[in-house]
Amino acid sequence: MLKKWFGKTETLPISESFEERVQQATQHTVPTHIAIIMDGNGRWAKKRSLPRVAGHHEGMKTVRKITRFADRLGVKALTVYAFSTENWKRPKAEVEFIMKLPQEFLGDFLPEMIERNIRVETIGEPEYLPKHTRLALEEAIEQTKHNTGLVLTFALNYGSRAEIVKATQNIATAVKNGVLAVEDITEETMNAALMTAGLPEPELLIRTSGEVRLSNFMLWQLAYTEFFFTDVLWPDFAEQHLLEAIESFQGRDRRYGGLKGESN
């Protein structure tokens, strides 16, 4: 197996069984919040001479599989980049198919999520989504709102720059109305104004398919996040790949600008 970040590739020794590695990983710090840029659905389909939508459908199955495994490992929040504000530029038929996936995914997986105590959330601008997509999301959010386990957040019609602009506008309005003083604006003020308010900042970002960029995803929230890039296409991303990313995270020294061996 290989792990890759910022062009560096390192071979992982395969000496323990998968279950032994799982046990070892859970004995160390597991990222509280993992964010994933799910990339490579189209390329997965092309490699198999299938239409691009087949890759998106297979990618939906991967979300379910990875959510289960993240929950097993003790991850508290999982945020998946499902559809960006830029993705509207794709062919109309492809966009329409993608917009039907939340309805199918949540319809099939919702009973299990309720049983597993998983809570569903979404970030983005839902008002621009088709009605059937919004209704599926709203139903899942309502049905799971009292759950206290893993928070599964779908970034749908989401763009980080737009999120930051909107948050800044809201803060400016609060200042204009005398609700907030300029000197009282802090990082916490911005955190509370963002769509991710209430979620911890991601400790680990995973991007699949070999692309090494953020693509307008959680730009504020990822300031001190560890990055893990892999060549694996999202539909092929399996439990062992998530475990590999977590093992990589556990082997890093998170200094937050301090000296080696210091936590801050």
Mean pLDDT confidence for 153-179: 98
Residue pair 234/59 in contact by the 8 Å Cβ criterion: yes
Could you tell me whether strands 33-37 and 119-124 are parallel, antiparallel, or unpaired per DSSP bridges?
unpaired
* pLDDT for position 253: 82
- For 17-51, what is each residue's pLDDT tens digit? 999 999 999 999 999 999 999 999 999 999 999 99
Cα–Cα distances in angstroms (integers) from residue 220 to residues 79, 115, 216, 242, 260, in the given order: 15, 33, 10, 24, 24
- Residue 12: pLDDT over 60: no
Annotated catalytic, 216?
no
Residues placed in the known binding site for substrate? 40-44, 52, 56, 84-86, 88, 90, 207, 213-215
Residue pair 53/223 in contact by the 8 Å Cβ criterion: no
What angle (nearest 5°) sits at the alpha carbon of residue 96, between those of residues 155 and 57?
70
What's the chain's average pLDDT?
A: 92
Residues placed in the known binding site for Mg(2+)? 39, 226
* pLDDT for position 14: 44
Alpha helices per DSSP H over the chain: 18-26, 41-47, 52-73, 92-116, 131-144, 160-176, 187-193, 239-250
- Residue 193: pLDDT over 80: yes
Q: Which residue has the tokens 């210091």?
A: 262
- Residue 5: pLDDT over 50: no
- For 101-132, what is each residue's pLDDT tens digit? 999 999 999 999 999 999 999 999 999 999 99
Mean pLDDT confidence for 220-237: 98
Annotated catalytic, 39?
yes
Q: Is 104 helix (H, G, I), strand (E, B) or coil?
A: helix
* pLDDT for position 130: 97
* pLDDT for position 9: 37
Residue pair 124/155 in contact by the 8 Å Cβ criterion: yes
Mean pLDDT confidence for 151-165: 98
Question: Using CB atoms within 10 A of its CB, is residue 92 exposed (0-12), middle (13-18) or buried (19+)?
Answer: exposed
- For 253-262, what is each residue's pLDDT tens digit? 876 555 565 5
Would you state the structure tokens that stand for residue 257, as one six-digit string?
Answer: 């600008």
- Residue 242: pLDDT over 90: yes
* Structure-model confidence comparison of residues 5 and 53, the more confident one: 53
All structural domains of the chain, each given as residue ranges with its CATH number in brackets, are 29-159+201-249 (3.40.1180.10)
